[in-house]
């Protein structure tokens, strides 16, 4: 049996975990010296590379002194917690990576809580040790405080600590060693700590086979691929197996078509997957995440994966605007439903339910947060879908007759001169300051408990208030009794009252009323929001109005009119901007905000 270690990398967004995996792959000898390999090779999705975050958990492996180390790069954002939970089900230990200046942040807390619940041993790496504002001793103290706060036991608190510079591919037992340039041993201390501190997988290598389906992928050659750990026995092509569904009541017999293991970044076909290895198997078209693959003679189900419930929902429906069908080729309710059902199959943190459309053509999609919903919508529009989105709504529940709403821990890292305005804005959204830390370097850390609905639409306001110099992160910490009404968007909308094309003359005369979203030449229709009113009420306007031509005034004089560049929303900003009576029209080429009603009331 091959000696194996299975480890997940835990880190907050942008703390360098994917860069560290790059360095581990290079130093394991996976690539040739002259081989062309792009940076952040594990971020294979276009959206991951564009946003600079990990969205999907991915597997790779390296070999260190005869020991195969299976590495899983986990998402650092709590919105993708479903990926984190099924990742931790595949490993026996975790590598905690923390920025040497920022320290542990909310998403680190979220993932560490899941790891400690599974009693996983930890190897700690304090990364970016070359930062001029590094504070490694304070960060290490904050890590211990975090683990104690999460009820870690004495054994979990006795972990090895390394100091790393992932970009340079250096690890050392002390900060000075990691900063040294000459004679560095690379990541050798990190590999050694993983092999020494994280245990090998347990399980009977000759017992009846047992395999947990922790992830699903699709192959054009063999169909559905089930990815997970081999808990007991072995798996091989042609083997007869029993697929145990749900609580163990249903059992389906099947034959494995192919078995794969990970070799570096490649998934290679093998004749035998051993106990403890992370494998992929084909031939199970009915498998779902959390199912168990077992020996038909002694079928035993493994504990199912438990995933936290969604905190936000959005309604997905067909695009019913007059401009529907111009950009996308996937726009029917059947196509949208099939795509969302496929997403729910591969993503255990997504929940689907019937929407409010009386014809049954809409679906309500539940997720962990705005970012997860935005990533799903962006993926769909790149695939050619057109759809309409309703505003995000929180998921509430009742406990003992009391209405409960989701609560978030918000951590703001910001210049100290902006503490007042941020505190004021979060307080108006029912936030409660729990901690304020100033390290004396001109920046402060503000911790606030705030209801999830209070954060909808706040992130862009936070960036404005801190002049782009602030960092805001949040993580769900449970539910709290309903905290009362929260004031929504203060400004009304400028709404088109007719169909046509926006013209310079009309937009020029609408500018004094507020902020314009449309450009000359843009198509408009009744109900389309073309701007934001400077006052609270909505105004129906005519953005197609042209100048009357006479023998004195000529159309050429329009060239003297100067328009302020229109405000353009990103998908996340548009989702956060919507009011209850508004929809977001999403096509492969356009994002348009509109009113549900197409005529003034």
CA distances from 567 to 49, 481, 517, 524 (A): 25, 37, 5, 16
The band of 47, judged by pLDDT with boundaries at 50, 70 and 90, is: very low
More confident residue, 33 or 194: 194
Residue 154 has pLDDT above 60, yes or no: yes
Residue 287 burial by Cβ neighbours in a 10 Å radius (0-12, 13-18, 19+): buried
Q: How far apart are CA 309 and CA 395, in angstroms?
A: 9
Partners of residue 437 on adjacent β-strands? 445
Q: What percent of the chain has pLDDT over 90?
A: 12
Residue 185 has pLDDT above 70, yes or no: no
Q: How far apart are CA 503 and CA 34, in angstroms?
A: 56
More confident residue, 565 or 150: 565
pLDDT attached to residue 482: 92
Of 87-101, 216-230, 295-309, 550-564, the range with the highest mean pLDDT is 87-101
The band of 502, judged by pLDDT with boundaries at 50, 70 and 90, is: very high
The band of 54, judged by pLDDT with boundaries at 50, 70 and 90, is: very low
pLDDT attached to residue 494: 93
| Kind plus residue range of the DSSP H or E element containing 378 | helix 370-382
Residue 600 has pLDDT above 70, yes or no: no
| Kind plus residue range of the DSSP H or E element containing 96 | strand 93-99
pLDDT attached to residue 491: 87
Q: Give pLDDT tens digits for 193-246.
A: 998 998 888 888 888 888 888 877 777 778 888 888 888 888 999 889 888 876
More confident residue, 249 or 237: 237
Q: Choose the weakest-confidence range: 47-56, 158-167, 497-506.
A: 47-56
Residue 82 has pLDDT above 60, yes or no: no
The average pLDDT across 564-579 equals 86
pLDDT attached to residue 557: 52
The average pLDDT across 503-518 equals 91
Q: Choose the weakest-confidence range: 306-315, 352-361, 554-563, 582-591.
A: 554-563
Coil vs helix vs strand at 173: coil
pLDDT attached to residue 593: 92
Q: What percent of the chain has pLDDT over 70?
A: 86
Q: What is the per-residue burial (b if ≥16 Cβ within 10 Å, else e) of 125-148? A: bbbbbbeeebbbeebbebbeebbe
More confident residue, 81 or 527: 527
Helices within 438-526 (DSSP H only): 452-455, 458-465, 504-510
pLDDT attached to residue 500: 92
The average pLDDT across 517-528 equals 91
pLDDT attached to residue 51: 43
The band of 43, judged by pLDDT with boundaries at 50, 70 and 90, is: very low
Q: Give pLDDT tens digits for 387-406.
A: 999 998 888 888 888 999 99
Q: What are phi and psi for residue 175, nearest 5 degrees?
A: -60, -40
Residue 362 has pLDDT above 80, yes or no: yes
The band of 559, judged by pLDDT with boundaries at 50, 70 and 90, is: low
The average pLDDT across 288-300 equals 84
pLDDT attached to residue 246: 64
Q: What are phi and psi for residue 380, nearest 5 degrees?
A: -65, -40
Closest C-alpha to 518, from 563, 584, 577: 563
SS3 content of the chain, % helix, strand, coil (to 5): 25, 30, 45
Residue 560 has pLDDT above 90, yes or no: no
């Amino acid at each position: 049996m091959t000696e194996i270690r299975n480890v997940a990398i835990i880190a907050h967004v942008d703390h360098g975990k994917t860069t560290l995996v790059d360095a581990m792959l290079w130093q394991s000898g996976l690539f040739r010296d002259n081989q062309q390999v792009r940076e952040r090779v594990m971020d294979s999705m276009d959206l991951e590379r564009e946003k600079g975050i990990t969205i999907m958990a991915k597997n790779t492996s390296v070999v260190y002194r005869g020991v195969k180390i299976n590495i899983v790069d986990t998402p650092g954002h709590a919105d993708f917690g479903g990926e984190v939970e099924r990742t931790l089900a595949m490993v026996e230990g975790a590598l905690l990576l923390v920025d040497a200046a920022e320290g542990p942040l909310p998403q680190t807390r979220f993932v560490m809580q899941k790891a400690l619940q599974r009693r996983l041993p930890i190897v700690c790496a304090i990364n970016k040790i070359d930062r001029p504002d590094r504070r490694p001793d304070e960060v290490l103290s904050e890590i211990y405080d975090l683990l104690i706060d999460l009820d870690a036991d004495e054994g979990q608190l006795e972990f090895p600590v390394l100091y790393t510079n992932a970009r340079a591919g250096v690890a050392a037992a002390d900060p000075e060693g990691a900063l040294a340039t000459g004679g560095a041993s690379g990541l050798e201390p990190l590999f050694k700590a993983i092999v020494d501190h994280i245990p090998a997988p347990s399980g009977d290598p000759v017992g009846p086979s047992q395999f947990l389906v922790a992830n699903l992928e699709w192959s054009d050659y063999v169909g559905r691929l089930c990815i997970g750990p081999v808990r007991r026995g072995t798996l091989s092509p042609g083997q007869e197996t029993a697929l145990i569904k749900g609580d163990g009541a249903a059992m389906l017999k099947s034959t494995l078509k192919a078995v794969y293991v990970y070799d570096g970044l490649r998934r290679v076909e093998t004749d035998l997957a051993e106990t403890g290895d992370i494998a992929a198997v084909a031939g199970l078209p009915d498998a779902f995440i959390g199912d168990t693959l077992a020996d038909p003679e002694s079928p035993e189900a493994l504990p199912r994966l438990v995933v936290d419930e969604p905190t936000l929902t959005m309604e997905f429906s067909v695009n019913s605007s007059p401009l529907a069908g111009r950009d996308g080729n996937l726009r029917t309710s059947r196509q949208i439903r099939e795509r969302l059902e496929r997403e729910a199959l591969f993503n255990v943190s997504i929940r689907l339910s019937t929407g409010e459309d009386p014809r049954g053509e809409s679906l309500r999609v539940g997720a962990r947060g705005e970012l997860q919903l935005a990533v799903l919508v962006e993926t769909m529009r790149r695939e050619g879908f057109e759809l309409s989105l309703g505003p995000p709504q929180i998921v509430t529940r009742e406990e003992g007759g009391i209405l409960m709403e989701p609560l978030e821990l918000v951590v703001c890292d910001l210049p100290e001169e902006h503490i007042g305005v941020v505190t004021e804005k979060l307080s108006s959204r029912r936030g409660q300051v729990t901690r304020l830390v100033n390290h004396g370097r001109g920046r402060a850390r503000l911790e606030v408990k705030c209801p999830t609905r209070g954060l909808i639409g706040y992130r862009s306001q936070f960036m404005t208030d801190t002049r782009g110099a602030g960092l805001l992160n949040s993580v769900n910490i449970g539910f709290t009794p309903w905290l009362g009404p929260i004031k929504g968007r203060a400004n009304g909308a400028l709404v088109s009252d007719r169909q046509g094309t926006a013209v310079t003359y009309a937009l020029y005369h609408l500018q004094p009323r507020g902020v314009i979203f449309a450009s000359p030449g843009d198509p408009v229709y009744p109900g389309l929001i073309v701007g934001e009113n400077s006052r609270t009420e909505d105004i129906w306007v005519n953005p197609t109005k042209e100048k009357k031509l006479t023998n004195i005034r000529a159309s050429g004089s329009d060239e003297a009119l100067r328009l302020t560049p229109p405000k353009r929303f990103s998908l996340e900003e548009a989702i956060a901007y919507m009011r209850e009576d508004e929809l977001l029209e999403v096509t492969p080429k356009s994002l348009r905000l509109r009113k549900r009603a197409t005529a003034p009331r």
